Structure 1
């Protein structure tokens, strides 16, 4: 019987960091998708532009929700050792980080809770100790 190769710890850590970023993205997306005009008016938004603000929040929420689901699915495949999914997940994580930083006025702290784990996972998955896992 052949002994299974053990997954490097950095790959497991990167997976869980991507998982955290995906969960925050999904939860934040659900929250912004449920935004209503009444909620914004209670917080003191301008009554003339509240409709546009709701549309902006819902669009941002939809993008975040889909991005979180996408990161969650791809991270599972990257954890198994497929280098194609690793490359695509790193590229998408960088794009997601740029999007979150560009829209930090909408997301606030949640952008930091997505960007830091996602970028850290991108660095970890390309560490020299993770290379043999993706070259087998």
Structure 2
């Protein structure tokens, strides 16, 4: 196992960006899960009741997905920070998938643009994890 004192700064930065993104994803998930279905129905009172029920279901499902995504990012970031080379591509791939899904939700209007920092943080952390100075840390 590599010496933690010799850990490159880009690995530290990537770790903290992943943790910040995970925290923001948890907030997003809790907001999606805790939003009152009556408030959604009031907001879309002019829409068909079936469509509003589908929107409430989509809101709950996306909240569960974001909570799961945040837990995975949070659990994988620690071992990657410690130097586990095999988990680095897993976490980077997961970060890209979550970022793309968030961008799709923002583009379709299911999520507000206020959440755009989350995919940006995930993608920046993924790039930092593969910088040449970080590659030294992940050598076997």
For normalisation by structure 2, the TM-score amounts to 0.88
For the residues of structure 1 that align with 2:22 and 2:4, how far apart are their CA atoms? 29
- Aligned 1:45-124 pairs, distance under 5 A: 45=45, 46=47, 48=49, 49-104=51-106, 105-124=109-128
Which has the larger displacement, 5-14 or 54-63? 5-14
Matched residue SS, 1:106:
coil
- 1:77-106 Cα deviation digits (max 9, x unpaired): 100001111110001011111111111122
User: Could you tell me how far 1:43 is from its partner in structure 2?
Assistant: 2.8
**For residues 4 and 105 of structure 2, what CA distance do their matches in structure 1 show?**
44
Native 8 Å contact 2:30 2:67 kept in 1: yes
- Determine whether 1:16 maps to 2:16: yes
Runs of 4+ in 1 over 4 A off after TM superposition: none
Give the length in aligned residue pairs.
134
Indicate the RMSD between aligned Cα atoms, in angstroms: 1.6
Aligned to 2:135: 131
Closer, same or farther in 2 for the Cα pair 1:60/1:21, shift >3 Å?
A: same
Contact 1:37 1:54 survives alignment (8 Å): yes
* CA offsets 1:39-92 (integer angstroms, 9 cap, x no match): 113434436132111101000000000000100010111000011111100010
CA distance in 2, matches of 1:109, 1:69: 22
**Structure 1 residues 115 and 4, CA gap change in structure 2 (3 angstroms):** closer
**Unmatched runs of 5 consecutive residues or more in structure 1:** none
